[in-house]
Amino acid sequence: MAAATYVYCVVKAARKPSLTGVPPGLPSGTAPQLLHSSPGIWLVTSDVSLDVYGPGKLEPALSNLDWVGRIALAHEGVVEFFAARAGVTVVPMKLFTMFSTPDRAIADITARRKTIDATIKRITGAEEWGVRVLRSVSPSEKKLESVTARSGAAFLAAKKQKRDEAQQARVAALEAAVEAYERLAAIAKDSRRREDAPAAGATPPLLDAAFLVAASKRERFTAAVRREADACARAGAQLTLSGPWPAYNFIQPEEAR
């Protein structure tokens, strides 16, 4: 079988991590294995079939979102397995990071060793958390279209009042989201606002952010999130927390993004 070397992540550890219990990895690929790069550094790889992932095969498959989603879950499962190991720092690779041979994979990591070492230093001992804030529809907005009045002037006045109330609700929710970001960022080692465009027809979030939090501050951070969630709810917004995740959003320094 003609194959390529697929790289899930780079791991740094004092000793070779165990593969016991590792997820199966990508479909049509071998079980994940460790490729030694340099002292304390391993690449987590699989051999994947070029009949599936090779030139002319992968590009058409990328339009199948269900298939890409399954690949992404398989990739993430392997990365999270190593991220959960004690004493291991994981630098996740992008989906579909592949090389023609294991030697090419090692050569690439070696060439980028200075950057990778800086990344490892930045994320060691920390974990990524995601925070999203969405605005709830206020009672004023729900009632906006059902305003009735006996006279035209009264109708317009009532309509304006409801619009003003809805605008105030939007401002209050946005202010709560901004304050949540600032307070949580003060606890985190690093924080990044994510600016991905929302899906067509979807309302953009007031806040979509990632926080790099020292593992020792997990309880402090999650307690602060609960307080901010309460504050957002009082302001007409909903805050959700996800994580911890491998530090995908902190692989590159802020100035390189």
User: Peptide bond before 244: cis, by omega within 30 degrees of 0?
Assistant: yes
Which among 94, 123, 152 is the end of a domain?
Answer: 123
At 200 the pLDDT is 55
* Residue 158 pLDDT grade (very low, low, confident, very high; cuts 50, 70, 90): low
CA-based R_g, the chain, Å: 24
Say if residue 190 is in the same domain as residue 224: yes
At 204 the pLDDT is 83
Question: How far is the C-alpha of 113 from the C-alpha of 101, rounded, in Å?
Answer: 19
Say if residue 198 is in the same domain as residue 232: yes
Which among 93, 123, 153 is the end of a domain?
Answer: 123
Strand partners, 241: 131
The pair of three-digit structure tokens given for residue 70, joined into one six-digit string: 């399954």
Say if residue 178 is in the same domain as residue 199: yes
Domain around 171: 126-256
Question: How far is the C-alpha of 189 from the C-alpha of 47, rounded, in Å?
Answer: 36
- Three-state SS at 129: strand
Number of other residues whose CB lies within 10 A of the CB of residue 50? 17
Say if residue 138 is in the same domain as residue 230: yes
Buried b (16+ CB within 10 A) or exposed e, 201-233: eeeebbbbbbbbbeeeeeeebeebbeebbebbe
The amino acid at residue 80 is: E
Q: Which of 216, 254, 28 is nearest to 122 (CA)?
A: 254
Say if residue 86 is in the same domain as residue 14: yes
C-beta separation of 229 from 133 below 8 A: no
103-112, 166-175, 215-224, 236-245: range with lowest mean pLDDT: 166-175
Count of domains for the chain: 2
Strand partners, 29: 48
Q: Is the pLDDT of residue 148 over 60?
A: no
| Residue 99 φ/ψ, nearest 5 degrees | -135, 160
Say if residue 63 is in the same domain as residue 143: no
Q: What is the pLDDT of residues 90-139, one digit of tens each?
A: 999 999 999 999 999 999 999 999 999 999 999 999 999 999 999 876 55
Say if residue 99 is in the same domain as residue 133: no
Q: ∠14-210-171 over CA atoms, to 5°?
A: 165
Q: Is the pLDDT of residue 12 over 50?
A: yes
Strand pairing of 3-12 and 89-92?
antiparallel
Q: What is the pLDDT of residues 161-202, one digit of tens each?
A: 566 555 566 777 888 899 999 999 999 999 999 876 555 556
More confident residue, 173 or 216: 216
Say if residue 93 is in the same domain as residue 208: no
Task: Look up the CATH number of the domain holding residue 213.
Answer: 3.30.70
- Three-state SS at 161: helix
Say if residue 114 is in the same domain as residue 23: yes
C-beta separation of 44 from 34 below 8 A: yes
Taking the whole predicted model, whether its pTM rises above 0.85 is answered as: no
List all residues 6 or more positions away from 109 whose beta carbon is below 8 Å from its beta carbon.
10, 37, 41, 43, 116
Which among 123, 141, 167 is the end of a domain?
Answer: 123
